[in-house]
Chains A and B, each alone.
Chain A
Amino acid sequence: MSDPRVTPRIEVLDATAPRLETPLDLTPPEPSRPIGTLALTTLGLALLIGGLGALSIANFVIDQFARGPAFGWATLAVAGGGVGLVGTALVRELRALVRLDAVDRLRARLADPSTTREAALEWVATLPDGAALTGALRQINDPDSIRALLRDGPAAELRARAETLGQQAALATFALTAAMPSPTLDAAVVAWRGLRLIRDVAALHGMRPGLFATVALLRRTLNAASLTALTNVAVDTAMRMIVSHPAIAHLAGDAAGAGVAARRMIVLARAAAAACAPVTPSR
């Protein structure tokens, strides 16, 4: 793609840019293992509760039909509605988990030079303004440049929006924990707001995680957080923006704990965005 007729040059692009960050390696820390004891136990209990529950419901419906067709049909309708709703929730959970795995697969395909372009085109096709990038992606020959284009384009946009969500969560957490009468409630507020933030960031990336997918996402987010923890300079900048808010400024001196909690929200938003995005940030 480089054209020899272009004059070589070296120019300052941004005089205030911070030091480059390493592209994050979000490979799960442990290779996949056979199902562990805890998972087997959980699976067994779920089968017992679900299977025996289903059998009991079926028996109950049959008994109700024996008492009279009207009772039978009414019980079947109630049981069918209930099982349908639970089934819908389960399907949604499964889809969310599959979607989460799809991010890993997409990330792997983007990292593999032989499939980078194809994976990039597939990903941008799912984005609202992705069509604008298709032409540029077809023009570029280098896998590294394709990844750079995605990183600076759609991934940066998603990251910026996740950052805004993080700052909103930080602001809310700061205010809530500062106003909380009991320190014991702080942890609950932070946990609730943190989980909600992770789900919001996931929704931003096109996922609708349920309970299990949120737990899986939380695990990945913690992994990403351990790798993003070094980006303290950027977090400090974001924190200063929040603490300089007039409504918060007068509280900041008294509520050191609230500051820590708010800071965690910013790190959490970045980590969740890194866990959900197929292209990891480099700075």
Chain B
Amino acid sequence: MDAIAAARDLLPGRRTVRIGITGLARAGKTALLTSLAANLLARRDVRVAIAPAGASALPRFDVAAHVAALAADPPRWPARTDAISLLALDIDVARGMLPDRRVRLELLDYPGEWLLDLPLLGQSFTEWSAATLRRLDGRPEANDFLAFVHGLPAGAADEALAATGARLYATLLHRLRDEGRLALLQPGRLLMPAPGPAPPWTAFYPLAGSGPLARLLAERYAAYTASVRRDLQRPGFGAIDRLVVLADVLSALHAGPAAFADTAAALSAVATALRWRPTIDVLPQWLTRLLPLAGIARVAFVASKADHVAERQRGNLAALVRTLTATGPASAAAFAIAAVRCTEDFVWTLEGRPVSAVRGRVEGQGLVGSYPGEVPDRAPAADFWAHPFLEIPAFQPVRLPADGRVPNLNLDTLIAFLLEDIL
């Protein structure tokens, strides 16, 4: 802890730390939040309790229900969340001779789709349109939308055309997420709308050129990015001072070069966008750091489901995420974790050779051994794709112990990184 952090710690009053948990689609955000909360609540070295909801505007994350689902027999994975929720924990931290200090830890389930709006802050409508249309080119799901966009007359400016295009684009984004398993899909609020009625400026889509319709869409794009910037500074959803970005890199390795390139591009774009920090130019930097305006102090890029590969490969997995997010802020670190452990390591003799593998139970199949392939420690070269990386099985979580903990891999390391200046 540096001197400024120590000085901030001595300031009177309760300290609130807000951790945003976010991630690319199907990365296991809810499982991580559940495990993080359950393991903090089960700690014996500090007193941790769920804080009362009070008059908060955000729905509460129901940790007890999610733990109960994991503990059930047969267990159930937490359902995919489609709304923002928040869990607040009160932690009493012992400080030697000084009285205990209460820290409120707020864990915010932040939609991953919204995270991918951050890169928009640094792009103009023209740049975004060109990049998006280039990515969509050649994808069969995008045929309808691309046919519509390329068929638009140069001088078109009709509101109905804007609405039709926006509807086609929204449908395309949903298909790319659900069927194409892509992650870099913008704007995120089209996939995960903010609470309340959608304002007209959310109805835009990528369009090349500089005609009247493109100008209308550019205006909407500008209003959208202004709203994203406002949200980041709003106390409700913003004010996140630590962030966890989850990604299911193993599934991307299985899905092939296109899906992996998409995940890599999404992670890289998010990492670059997270370098953005709110600043108040008139204040000196040391004072800005003392005030709760410091922006995101720590970012953890996390590869989830790390227990689906053997131990040696977990190091490669963390290294791979580190490479993909190298453009991120200096305060970022990469991890490979399993929020809820499903497997155990074992030595499997395959073709007469001992191989480090994992085994776990799959509902309806029994105990399954898995050696999906080698995880590269950097973005894989072309020859990697010549050998298939198998789809990781849907393992059941291990039986939960009686002491309230959720078995995991490397979660302690992640907690230590996020909270080392607090606990």
Contact = CB atoms under 8 A, between A and B. Distances in A.
Given A1-B312, A21-B399, A282-B344, A145 B356 contact: yes
B399 A19 contact: yes
Given A144-B310, A230-B401, A1 B356 contact: yes
Contacts of B2: none
Contacts of A7: 350-351
Contact of B355 (A6, A19, A21, A282): A6
Contact of A6 (B73, B370, B371): B371
A2 interface: yes
19 contacts: A2-B371, A2-B374, A6-B351, A8-B387, A9-B350, A13-B359, A14-B367, A17-B366, A19-B75, A20-B360, A23-B344, A25-B405, A136-B347, A144-B310, A144-B356, A145-B311, A145-B345, A148-B346, A283-B398
Nearest to B346: A148
B344 A148 contact: yes
Which 3 pairs between the two chains have the least Cβ-Cβ distance? A17-B367, A144-B345, A15-B366
Instruction: Name the prevailing secondary structure of the B interface residues.
Output: loop
A19 B73 contact: yes
A22 B397 CA distance: 10
Central interface residue in A1, A15, A19, by most chain B CB within 10 Å = A19
Contacts of B390: 8-10
Contact of A142 (B310, B393, B399, B400): B310
Listed residue (A23, A142, A143, A229) with the most chain B CB atoms within 10 angstroms of its CB = A142
B346 A10 contact: no
A9 B387 CA distance: 12
B283 interface: no
B372 interface: yes
Interface string A271-283: 0000000000011
Nearest to A231: B399
A142 B356 contact: yes
A254 interface: no
Interface residues of A, number: 45
A135 to B, nearest CB: 11
A19 B70 CA distance: 12
Contact of A14 (B341, B355, B366): B366
A148 B374 contact: no
Nearest to B75: A19
Nearest to B392: A10
Contacts of B325: none
B354 A12 contact: no
Nearest to A4: B374
B388 interface: yes
Contacts of B399: 19-22, 230-231
Given A11-B369, A12-B368, 9 more contacts: A3-B353, A10-B371, A14-B366, A20-B343, A20-B396, A142-B356, A144-B344, A145-B311, A148-B347
Interface of B: 44, 73-75, 310-313, 341-347, 350-351, 353-356, 359-361, 365-374, 387-390, 393, 396, 398-403, 405, 407
Given A142-B312, A226-B402, A8 B372 contact: yes
B398 A11 contact: no
Contacts of B44: 29
A25 B370 CA distance: 26
Contacts of B347: 1, 136, 140, 145, 148-149
A144 B311 contact: yes
B403 to A, nearest CB: 7
B31 to A, nearest CB: 16
A8 B368 CA distance: 13
A22 B355 CA distance: 23
Interface in A111-156: 136, 139-145, 147-149, 152
A20 B370 contact: no
A216 B277 CA distance: 56
A207 to B, nearest CB: 26
Contacts of A143: 311
A1 B354 contact: yes
A2 B403 contact: no
Contact of B310 (A2, A14, A226): A2
Nearest to B347: A145
A231 B401 CA distance: 10
